[in-house]
Structure 1
Amino acid sequence: MSSSVALLAGLVVGLVGGVLVAALLRRSRRPGPEDTAPADGAAPEAVLARRLLDLIDPAVVLLDAGDVVLLANPAARSLGIVRDTRLLVPELLELARTVRDGGRRRAEVSLSSSLVGGGPRQLGVLGVRLERGPGSPGPVALVLQDVTEARRVEAVRRDFVANVGHELKTPVGALSLLAEAIEDAADDPTTVRRFASRMTHEADRLARLVRELIDLSRLQGGEPLPELVPVEVDTVIAEAVDRTKLAATAKQIAIVSGGERGLVVKGVESQLATAVTNLLANAVAYSPEHTRIAVGARARAGFAEITVTDSGIGIPREDRSRVFERFYRVDQSRASRTGGTGLGLAIVKHVATNHGGSVSVWSEEGLGSTFTLRVPLTDRTTTPTPAGDAPAEHDLAGGPAAAHAPKGRS
Structure 2
Amino acid sequence: MIIALLSGLIGLALGAFGVLAFHLSERQRRERVEVGEPVLPEGAAEVLSVIGRAYVIVDVIDGVVRASPAAYAFGLVRGHTVVHKELLELTGRVRRDGVIEERQLELPRGPLGQGTIIVQVRVAPIGDEYILLLADDRTEITRTEAMRNDFVANVSHELKTPVGAISLLAETIEGAADDEVAVRRFAKRMQKESVRLTALVQDIIELGRLQGADVVRSGRPVDLNAVVAEAVDRNKLPAEAKDISIVVGGKLSLPVFGDQDLLMTALRNLIDNAIRYAPEHTKVGVGLRSREGLAVISVTDQGPGIPPDEQERIFERFYRVDAARSRQTGGTGLGLSIVKHVIAQHGGEVSVWSQPGQGSTFTVRLPEMEQDLDEGQAGDTPASQRTDGAEDSREQGVSA
Classify the TM-score, shorter chain.
0.7 to 0.9
Q: How does 1:9-408 map to 2 (within 5 A)?
A: 28=36, 45=43, 48-49=46-47, 51-52=49-50, 56=52, 58-100=53-95, 101-115=97-111, 119-131=115-127, 133=128, 138-221=129-212, 223-225=213-215, 227-379=218-370, 381-383=377-379, 397-398=393-394
Cα 1:183–1:26, aligned 2, differ >3 Å: closer, same or farther? farther
The one-letter code matched in structure 1 to 2:200 is: L
The one-letter code matched in structure 2 to 1:146 is: D
8 Å CA contact 1:78–1:116 kept in 2: the answer is no
In 2: Cα distance, 1:336 partner to 1:147 partner: 38
In 2: Cα distance, 1:109 partner to 1:394 partner: 44
Cα 1:60–1:296, aligned 2, differ >3 Å: closer, same or farther? same
1:28 is displaced (CA, Å) by 2.5
RMSD of Structure 2 on Structure 1 (CA): 2.8
Going by fraction, where is helix more abundant, 1 or 2? 2
In 2: Cα distance, 1:283 partner to 1:26 partner: 76
Cα 1:348–1:394, aligned 2, differ >3 Å: closer, same or farther? closer
The one-letter code matched in structure 2 to 1:122 is: I
In 2: Cα distance, 1:92 partner to 1:393 partner: 49
1:91 is displaced (CA, Å) by 1.0
What is the TM-score when the length of structure 1 is the normalising length?
0.79
In 1: Cα distance, 2:219 partner to 2:297 partner: 18
For residues 92-136 of structure 1, the C-alpha deviation after alignment (integer angstroms, 9 at most, x for no partner) is 1111122231511111223224437651212211111234x4xxx
8 Å CA contact 1:108–1:124 kept in 2: the answer is yes
Aligned residues: 354
Cα 1:88–1:272, aligned 2, differ >3 Å: closer, same or farther? closer
1:386 is displaced (CA, Å) by 6.9
In 2: Cα distance, 1:320 partner to 1:50 partner: 48
In 2: Cα distance, 1:261 partner to 1:384 partner: 11
Say which SS state the counterpart of residue 103 (structure 1) adopts: coil
In 2: Cα distance, 1:238 partner to 1:315 partner: 27
Cα 1:377–1:82, aligned 2, differ >3 Å: closer, same or farther? closer
8 Å CA contact 2:71–2:77 kept in 1: the answer is yes
In 2: Cα distance, 1:27 partner to 1:161 partner: 59
1:168 is displaced (CA, Å) by 0.2
1:288 is displaced (CA, Å) by 1.1
In 2: Cα distance, 1:322 partner to 1:362 partner: 13
In 2: Cα distance, 1:73 partner to 1:393 partner: 47
In 2: Cα distance, 1:219 partner to 1:129 partner: 46
8 Å CA contact 2:242–2:281 kept in 1: the answer is yes
Stretches of structure 1 that go unaligned for 5 or more consecutive residues are 1-24, 31-37, 400-410
Deviates more, 1:143-152 or 1:204-213: 143-152
1:236 is displaced (CA, Å) by 1.0
In 1: Cα distance, 2:230 partner to 2:82 partner: 61
8 Å CA contact 2:347–2:367 kept in 1: the answer is yes
Cα 1:51–1:270, aligned 2, differ >3 Å: closer, same or farther? closer
Cα 1:387–1:90, aligned 2, differ >3 Å: closer, same or farther? closer
In 1: Cα distance, 2:207 partner to 2:89 partner: 44
Which residue of structure 2 lines up, in the alignment, with residue 15 of structure 1?
A: none
In 2: Cα distance, 1:182 partner to 1:366 partner: 40
In 2: Cα distance, 1:357 partner to 1:93 partner: 43
In 1: Cα distance, 2:245 partner to 2:383 partner: 17
Cα 1:95–1:387, aligned 2, differ >3 Å: closer, same or farther? closer
Stretches of structure 2 that go unaligned for 5 or more consecutive residues are 1-32, 372-376, 396-400
8 Å CA contact 2:103–2:120 kept in 1: the answer is yes
For residues 357-388 of structure 1, the C-alpha deviation after alignment (integer angstroms, 9 at most, x for no partner) is 11111111111111111222223555477799
1:78 is displaced (CA, Å) by 2.8
Say which SS state the counterpart of residue 331 (structure 2) adopts: coil
Cα 1:114–1:270, aligned 2, differ >3 Å: closer, same or farther? closer
Cα 1:92–1:171, aligned 2, differ >3 Å: closer, same or farther? same
1:143 is displaced (CA, Å) by 0.5
Cα 1:142–1:206, aligned 2, differ >3 Å: closer, same or farther? same
In 1: Cα distance, 2:148 partner to 2:203 partner: 17
8 Å CA contact 1:253–1:291 kept in 2: the answer is yes
